[in-house]
Amino acid sequence: MLSRLETMVLTGSADLPLPAIRQQIGTAVDYIVHLSRLRDFSRKCMQIAEVVGYDHDAGKILLNPIFKFVEDKKAGSRTRVVGQLVRTENKIINTDKFELSGIYDYLEDGDETGA
């Protein structure tokens, strides 16, 4: 998704340097929700990641995975994917917007179902 955003910007203005584009994306996007079509042709949310910013030294946009899809191999089969999003142990880094809305306090209580 990030490379696709970079490509879209480059098609509109090819004279912008790639680090500048990545820095813009790193500051403009808050979260990325990754949806994917799986082997059973269903679409599932595979990951929700926080966009933390841009690392100038590495030249990369920094991501913090918050939720990740974990497949339940016992309940599923080759023709049916069963699983769920599971909260990672990563803490949310940019909490400003959550704190202003009162959501962050709710998440800090340890109840992950309300998000």
pTM for the model:
0.76
52, 63 Cβ separation under 8 angstroms: yes
Q: How many CB atoms lie within 10 A of CB 44?
A: 17
Residue 106 has pLDDT above 80, yes or no: no
Give the pLDDT of residue 76. Answer: 74
- pLDDT, mean of residues 3-21: 87
pLDDT digits (tens, 9 = 90+) for 52-88: 999 999 989 999 999 999 999 888 787 889 999 999 9
Query: Residue ranges of the domains in the chain?
Result: 2-108
Q: 97 CB contacts (<8 Å, ≥6 apart)?
A: 30
First to last CA, the chain: 23
For residue 83, give the nearest of 112, 34, 44, 47 by alpha carbon. 44
pLDDT digits (tens, 9 = 90+) for 21-50: 999 889 889 999 999 999 999 999 999 999
